C-alpha cells in the first residue's frame, strides 16, 4: 500500500568494531571521573586520576595490537606508549609535589 514505508535494512555495527574501542572507553571513563572530582574542587585527586588514565592508555597501547587499540593508536606504537607514559608521569609528579597552593 502507498502509506507503508519500504523496508530498509537496519545497519548494526559489528561487535568486533565496538570491542575495538573498549580500551579507549575505559580511559575516557577514567577521565570523566577525574573531571567530576575536579569539578568538586578536589583538583589533586582529579589530576592523579588523569595521570593514571594516561598510564592505563600506555599499557593498553603497549599490550594490544594496533587493530585492537582503537582510538588510542594515534602514531606508531613506541611514540604512543612513550607519549602516554611520560605525560601521565609528569601529571602525577605535578599532582603530588604542589603543596600549599591556592587550590588546596
Question: What is the DSSP secondary-structure string of 37-96?
Answer: HHHTT-HHHHHHHHHHHHHHHHHHHHHS-HHHHGGG--S-HHHHHHHHHHHHHHHHHHHH
Does the structure show a pLDDT above 60 at 102?
A: no
pLDDT of residue 2: 57
| Neighbouring residues of 32: CB distance < 8 A, sequence distance ≥ 6 | none
Average pLDDT on 69-73 reads 91
Cα–Cα–Cα angle for 92, 97, 98, rounded to 5 degrees: 110
pLDDT digits (tens, 9 = 90+) for 31-57: 999 999 999 988 899 999 999 999 999
pLDDT-derived band at 1, boundaries 50, 70, 90: low
Amino acid at each position: 500500500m502507498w502509506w507503508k514505508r519500504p523496508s530498509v535494512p537496519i545497519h548494526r555495527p559489528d561487535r568486533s568494531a565496538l570491542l575495538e574501542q573498549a580500551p579507549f572507553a575505559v580511559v575516557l571513563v577514567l577521565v570523566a571521573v577525574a573531571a567530576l572530582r575536579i569539578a568538586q574542587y578536589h583538583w589533586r585527586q582529579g589530576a592523579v586520576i588523569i595521570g593514571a588514565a594516561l598510564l592505563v592508555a600506555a599499557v593498553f597501547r603497549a599490550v594490544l595490537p594496533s587493530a585492537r587499540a582503537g582510538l588510542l593508536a594515534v602514531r606508531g606504537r613506541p611514540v604512543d606508549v612513550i607519549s602516554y607514559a611520560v605525560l601521565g608521569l609528569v601529571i602525577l609528579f605535578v599532582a603530588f609535589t604542589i603543596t600549599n597552593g591556592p587550590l588546596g
